C-alpha cells in the first residue's frame, strides 16, 4: 500500500540519491477527466550544475529551464521532438538545476483513462517511455514550474522501498552528450520499463 507522503522531503537531496529512490514511488496526475498514474519503474538523473552536458540546464538558465533552478519538489516539463511532453521532478537545493526524468510507470490508477489517451488497451504500452508517460497522464506544459503536491500532480512514497537488488542501473537512453554516466535506474525485469531488452534486465 502507499503512504500519503506528498512531496517527500528527500527530494531536496542530491539527484543521484533521489533518482534510484523514486523507483517504487507512485505518481498521479488528476485532471477534470479523473486521476491517472502508476508506480515509477524507470528514472534518469540530469545534473546541470555538475557539468552534465546532457542536461537542459548545462548552458545556463533560460525561460524553458527556469523550473530546473527551483528547489526539490518543483515540476519541470518540456516538449520533445515537437510532439511529446516529458516529465521531470526537480531535486536538490535551489540553483543546482538537478532533475529526474520519469521514463516509465507501471500503470495502476485510471487505466481506462490512460488507455483512451494512448489509443491502446495494452497495459505495457501505456506508460513505457517518457513521451508515453506525458500522454497517458494528460500532462500540460503549463504545469511546468508548479510544485509537487500543490497542483494536480501528486507523489506517494511506498511504506517499504523495493529491495536494492531489484533495481538495475545503466547508461542513459537517447542522449548524445555525457553518455557514459550510469545515471539511469529501473526495476529489473519489469515489462513496463522502456529501452532495449539488455537495458531492462
Partner DNA sequence: AGACGGATTGCCT
Partner DNA sequence: GGCAATCCGTCTA
Q: How far is the CB of 131 from DNA (least distance, A)?
A: 3
Instruction: Looking at residues 3 to 32 of the shown chain, list those that interact with DNA (rule: CB under 7 A).
Output: none
Q: What share of the chain is helix, strand, coil (3-state, %, to 5)?
A: 25, 30, 45
Q: How far is the CB of 20 from DNA (least distance, A)?
A: 16
Q: Is 91 exposed, middle or buried (0-12, 13-18, 19+ CB in 10 A)?
A: buried
Q: How far is the CB of 196 from DNA (least distance, A)?
A: 8
Reported as type and span, the H/E element at residue 16 is: helix 15-21
Q: Does 99 bind DNA (CB under 7 A)?
A: yes
Please state, in angstroms and rounded to a whole number, the distance separating the CA atoms of residues 45 and 88: 9
How many residues make contact with DNA (CB under 7 A)? 37
Find out whether 11 and 147 touch, Cβ atoms under 8 Å: no
Stretch that binds DNA, among 3-11, 13-21, 54-62, 149-157 (CB under 7 A): 54-62
Q: Does 175 bind DNA (CB under 7 A)?
A: yes
Site string for DNA, 55-94 (x = CB under 7 A): xxx-x--xxxx--x---------xxxxxxx-x-x------
Name residues whose C-beta falls within 8 Å of residue 60's C-beta, 6 or more positions apart in sequence. Answer: none
Partners of 47 in beta bridges: 98
Q: Does 117 bind DNA (CB under 7 A)?
A: no
Instruction: Looking at residues 121 to 140 of the shown chain, list those that interact with DNA (rule: CB under 7 A).
Output: 125, 128-133
Q: Does 51 bind DNA (CB under 7 A)?
A: no
Stretch that binds DNA, among 15-23, 145-153, 173-181, 185-193 (CB under 7 A): 173-181
Find out whether 75 and 89 touch, Cβ atoms under 8 Å: yes
Please state, in angstroms and rounded to a whole number, the distance separating the CA atoms of residues 194 and 31: 25
Partners of 10 in beta bridges: none
Residues that bind DNA (CB under 7 A): 44, 46, 54-57, 59, 62-65, 68, 78-84, 86, 88, 99, 101, 118, 125, 128-133, 172-176, 194
Amino acid at each position: 500500500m502507499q503512504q500519503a507522503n506528498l512531496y517527500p522531503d528527500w527530494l531536496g537531496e542530491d539527484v543521484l540519491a533521489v533518482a534510484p529512490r523514486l523507483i517504487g514511488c507512485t505518481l498521479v496526475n488528476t485532471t477534470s477527466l479523473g486521476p491517472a498514474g502508476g508506480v515509477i519503474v524507470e528514472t534518469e538523473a540530469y545534473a546541470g550544475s555538475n557539468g552534465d552536458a546532457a542536461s537542459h540546464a548545462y548552458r545556463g538558465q533560460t525561460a524553458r529551464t527556469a523550473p530546473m533552478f527551483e528547489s526539490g519538489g518543483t515540476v519541470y516539463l518540456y516538449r520533445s521532438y515537437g510532439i511529446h511532453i516529458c516529465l521531470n521532478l526537480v531535486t536538490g537545493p535551489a540553483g543546482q538545476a538537478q532533475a529526474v526524468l520519469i521514463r516509465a510507470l507501471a500503470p495502476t490508477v485510471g487505466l481506462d483513462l490512460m488507455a483512451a489517451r494512448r489509443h491502446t488497451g495494452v497495459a505495457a504500452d501505456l506508460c513505457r517511455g517518457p513521451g508515453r508517460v506525458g500522454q497517458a497522464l494528460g500532462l500540460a506544459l503549463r504545469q511546468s514550474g508548479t510544485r509537487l503536491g500543490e497542483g494536480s500532480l501528486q507523489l506517494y512514497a511506498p511504506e517499504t522501498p523495493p529491495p536494492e537488488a531489484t533495481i538495475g542501473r545503466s547508461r542513459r537512453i537517447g542522449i548524445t552528450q555525457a553518455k557514459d554516466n550510469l545515471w539511469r535506474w529501473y526495476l529489473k525485469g519489469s515489462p513496463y520499463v522502456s529501452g532495449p531488452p539488455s537495458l531492462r534486465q
